[in-house]
Each structure stands twice: as structure tokens, then as C-alpha cells.
Amino acid sequence: MYIQLTWKDPGNLELQQKDFSLPLGIGREFATMPYRYEDQSLSKIAFNSRKISAFHAVIHIVSGQLIITDMSTNGTIINGKLLHKSSQPLYSGDVLKIEPYEITVIVLNEDGGTEVLNLPLDV
């Protein structure tokens, strides 16, 4: 499974979009993020902001479900709700707020197309 992250760069306001294999580490410093997470090679993205922890969060799969685990000092806001030092399911279209970035998560299938199987039941 792959995910696509989309965000607007707060410095130049340009829209950024990148695809990643999972698990994905999110943080401020590549050097402080581990090379592996749960015995898998860790993809990494670093955002340039002192408000973001060096190793802020990880997006991974548990029993077929996409999960985000916050490991930060300040927490991660997901669709307006604070997640702090815990985990929760993550769905295609969810918006992560990791100051000062707002990041939209899209789940992709193996071909790079949008995955629709990972939606909450109440959609």
C-alpha cells in the first residue's frame, strides 16, 4: 500500500505532492528517525519547522488498517481532533495538521490509483 501526501508549503505557498511506501516516518530531521519500524524499512519525510518534533509520527499498517501513531511533544491534529502520544485509524481524505502544515492523506493502490477500500463505515 502507498499513500500520497499533499500540502501547501508555508514559505512559498506552492502545492506539494509526494507518494510514499509504508511505513512512513514524519518529522523534522531525517537523522533522528529510525531506518526501520516494526522490522520494515521506513520511508521518511522531513518538514522544516521547529514546531514539528524530530520524529513526530509514523503512518503504518496494523492488521490491514492504516494507522497513525503520534510520538510528538505537541501532538497531531487529525480532522480537527488532537491525537497525542497514541494511535488511531487513518482514512483516505483525512487531513493532518502538524503546525504549520496541513497535509491531506490519500491512500493509493499498488498501481498508484486511488484506493477506496480504506473508508470508515459511516461514509
70-105 pLDDT, tens per residue? Answer: 999 999 999 999 999 999 999 999 999 999 999 999
**Yes or no: domain 2-108 corresponds to CATH 3.90.550.10:** no
Alpha-carbon radius of gyration of the chain: 14
The model carries a pTM of: 0.88
In this predicted structure, what is the pLDDT of residue 110?
65
Cα-Cα-Cα-Cα torsion 58, 61, 62, 63, nearest 10 degrees, comes to: 180
For the chain, what are the domain ranges?
2-108
Q: What is the pLDDT along the chain (123 residues), one digit of tens a residue?
A: 899 999 999 989 999 999 999 999 999 999 999 999 999 999 999 999 999 999 999 999 999 999 999 999 999 999 999 999 999 999 999 999 999 999 999 999 765 555 444 444 343
